[in-house]
Amino acid sequence: MTAEELFPVVLAGFVALCVECKTITRAPIPVRWIQSTSGPGTTLYACPTHAVTLGAGPTPEDELPAR
């Protein structure tokens, strides 16, 4: 057993993975929501730097076409 397995890194508070730069951020901002056909949807988060460029979702690409 390694030291990393014995003493895992525990992050305090709410953290999330940025969808743009793939780093863990302690100040996640929700930018997208993906609907699921089975179970609850998923919220995607961005770091404050990338949240400005991504904007608040949903975008036209995220919208479902009307039938």
**pTM of structure:** 0.65
Q: What is the pLDDT of residues 2-25, one digit of tens each?
A: 877 787 777 668 889 999 999 999
Please write the tens of the pLDDT for every residue from 19-49.
Answer: 999 999 989 988 888 888 888 888 899 999 9
Task: Tell me the domain boundaries of the chain.
Answer: 14-62
Strand partners, 29: 46
Residues 51, 29 contacting (CB under 8 angstroms): yes
Residue 6 makes CB contacts below 8 A (sequence gap 6+) with none
